[in-house]
Chains A and B, each alone.
Chain A
Amino acid sequence: MDFLTIIQLLDSTIRSATPLLLACLAGLYSERSGIFDIGLEGKMLAAAFFSAAVAYMTGSAWMGLGAGIAASMVLSLIHGVASINFRGNQLISGVAINFLAAGMTVLIAQDWFAQGGRTPSLMSGGRFEPITLPFADALAGVPFLGPIYAELISGHSILVYIAFAMVPLTWWDLFRTRFGLRLRAVGENPESVDTAGVSVIRLRYAAVIICGVLCGIAGAYLATGLQANFTKDMTANRGFIALAALIFAKWRPWYALYACLLFGFLFAIETRFQNIELLGFTLPVQFVQALPYILTVVILAGFVGKAIPPRAGGEPYVKER
């Protein structure tokens, strides 16, 4: 395997990991505050549809992004109302959101565009085009570092850089700010937060809204960054893989980055190689395609140690009288 192949493999890793990373961080905020969220998939799907539809109608990718975030936030708030105010079962609410998004997007798309649940292809202004970082072309000739900068780091859409910037930001937010301390506390022991005179409900809503924003960016990246239209079920279970990555990362931002990059890398290998020759054996492509899932089971079964979710996760908070 030559150097260029490795660069291309890593480049593909970054593209595959970006939607996972955004969804994973979205889940991290929500679950750290004690709201389990298996509706990441549905929120991404709704965001993908509305970003593609609005970007097509306005011709602006940024308007599309805004619409995607808004759609995802609406679903987040539904989840919030169900699980915070009405103290409903968070898993059931999440499943409902997935179903709602899968059905509604196709229905609305058919009604608006009559193309069978697809949105029309976007022209160049409606998409997040790859951006070339400064000096990328000039430095491309530099041995070793040149290709890394020009091929790997440069040449992604702005949303990729936003996603990767979210990792340190999330870390700082969770572990270095007052908001982060309270957010983590509300997921572990909401009574103590309440005793300190901080509103549990307000904190949990804040987390759920941040979750909506990040899922919105993830969906918009799929539909207007990687693709140029929405197609039915285009998230293809990425929301659930992000959820696996979150558990894998034990609800910590840097580990979430590593977990998502690992999954992205496995997807990149799977798309690049059909059958892999290894020590004289041929690994069939079916095995390579199953690898991310096998890995999830194996790693969760013992390698990362015990993944302990936030203690108050899934429990609606009832104020004591």
Chain B
Amino acid sequence: MTLMTKFLGAAAAVALTAGAALADPALIYDLGGKFDKSFNEAAYNGAERWAAETGGSYRDIEIQSEAQREQALRRFAENGFNPIITTGFAWSSVFDEVAPDYPDTKFVTIDGYSGAENVQSVAFSEHEGSYLVGMIAAMASESGTVGFVGGMDIPLIRKFACGYAQGAKAVNPDITVISNMTGTTPAAWNDPVKGSELANAQISQGADVIYAAAGGTGLGVLQTAADEDILSIGVDSNQNHLFPGKVLTSMLKRVDVAVYDAMTQGDGIAPGVRVMDLGADGVGYAMDDNNAELVSAEMSAAAEDAKAKIIAGEISVHDYTSDDSCPALSF
């Protein structure tokens, strides 16, 4: 029976690939959804830029549940899409399972990791970008207390928090960093009401700058910060425009660049780990008209200085995921 299914599956795959003349790339968004104004939207923007510049076309899908990960991946692979790009940390085990079955297809996992031969794992140095916004936050804070709101409590988000706390403490060793996680399930990416409550709780504890790394939940944090007239820091995409004059800056994670590069390289993608750090402009902080008045020359000079030192290796920012501990913050 299983043999039969395999034959049928192979036959179907052959029939379908015959239809697709040239391999188009495909993009699979994570559970936060395509237009989260943050992580997944950055991926979408990168794909759109590629499509506009090359005139190529691509397919994308928003998965709706955990169970769809493997299904979506296999569907795209069997329909001859190449490369297939996924966003989000939760894909690692799926790739180990699926990628060896399609040796001619190239896969890219952004934030995930797989050792399979045809998978490129893109790893961002979020701790370095968070370090810089942590410095800016500590310099902008008047109360000596800054906050962090994370989405789902996973090592990746702790990596953001840890970098942020290190940056804040580098500027002001006595600063208090309050850190909260929204939840332990994927629903934590999509609960702006709870994000607001967390922001309120941190404000009542004295925080006057709050960094949200929480997908859709973060929008609630930014909203409350704007309502209560304190500053917030956005994440992944440039979120400065959401509440002009209230968002201090945004920690940029250039998911768009990773997606754009992957689509441009097509079949020539090099498997293995690709590190997108400060030196490669994979992370950074956003400056535009909306926050020009909030970030003083002194702040940006200090951040640029630290950036140069991190690239040169003079400052080393501890990566939470390297040993599951953080010297600057306890979870």
Contacts and interface: CB of A to CB of B under 8 A. Distances in A.
B255 to A, nearest CB: 16
Contact of B198 (A226, A271, A286): A271
Contacts of A286: 153, 184
A16 B33 contact: no
B197 A15 contact: yes
Nearest to A106: B33
Interface stretch (A24-32, A67-75, A230-238): A230-238
A231 B222 CA distance: 14
A117 B41 CA distance: 13
A232 B32 CA distance: 10
B190 A236 contact: yes
Interface in B195-254: 196-198, 200-201, 204, 216, 219-220, 223, 227, 242
Interface string A274-290: 10000000000110010
A226 B192 CA distance: 9
B197 A233 contact: no
A267 interface: yes
Interface in A113-169: 115-118, 121
B219 A231 contact: yes
B194 interface: yes
A267 B196 CA distance: 12
A121 B242 CA distance: 9
A131 to B, nearest CB: 14
A21 interface: no
Interface string A210-235: 00000000000010001111011110
A237 B187 CA distance: 9
A12 B198 CA distance: 10
Given A8-B204, A227-B223, A285-B181, A117 B197 contact: no
A226 B193 contact: yes
A117 B153 contact: no
Contacts of A118: 35, 37
B179 interface: yes
A289 B183 contact: yes
Given A117-B33, A117-B35, A118-B35, A8 B190 contact: no
Given A227-B192, A236-B191, A16 B197 contact: yes
A236 B216 contact: no
Name the residue among B37, B197, B227 with the largest chain A CB count within 10 angstroms. Answer: B197
A55 interface: no
Contacts of A274: 179-181, 331
A116 B34 contact: yes
Contacts of A234: 190-193
Nearest to B193: A226
A87 interface: no
A312 B180 CA distance: 45
Interface in B169-189: 179-181, 183-184, 187
A203 interface: no
A5 B200 CA distance: 12
B60 interface: no
Contacts, number: 73
Contact of B220 (A5, A227, A237): A227
A321 to B, nearest CB: 47
Interface in B77-106: none
A225 to B, nearest CB: 10
B267 interface: no
Contacts of A226: 193, 196
Contacts of A228: 223, 227
A5 B204 CA distance: 8
B99 to A, nearest CB: 29
A152 B179 CA distance: 25
A272 interface: yes
A160 to B, nearest CB: 14
B331 to A, nearest CB: 8
B193 A236 contact: yes
B325 to A, nearest CB: 15
B48 interface: no
Nearest to B184: A286
A174 interface: no
Given A116-B35, A285-B181, A289-B183, A227 B190 contact: no
A60 to B, nearest CB: 19
B223 A271 contact: no
B197 A268 contact: yes
Interface in B97-142: none
A267 B36 CA distance: 25
A141 B184 CA distance: 41
Nearest to A267: B197
A8 B35 CA distance: 34
Interface of B: 33-37, 41, 153, 179-181, 183-184, 187, 190-194, 196-198, 200-201, 204, 216, 219-220, 223, 227, 242, 331
Given A116-B36, A226-B193, 20 more contacts: A16-B197, A116-B33, A116-B35, A116-B41, A117-B33, A118-B35, A118-B37, A226-B196, A229-B223, A231-B216, A232-B33, A232-B216, A234-B193, A236-B190, A236-B193, A237-B187, A267-B197, A271-B197, A285-B153, A289-B183
12 contacts: A8-B204, A15-B197, A116-B35, A121-B242, A227-B220, A231-B190, A231-B219, A233-B190, A271-B197, A274-B181, A274-B331, A286-B153
Leading 4 A-B pairs by shortest Cβ distance: A116-B35, A236-B191, A8-B204, A272-B201
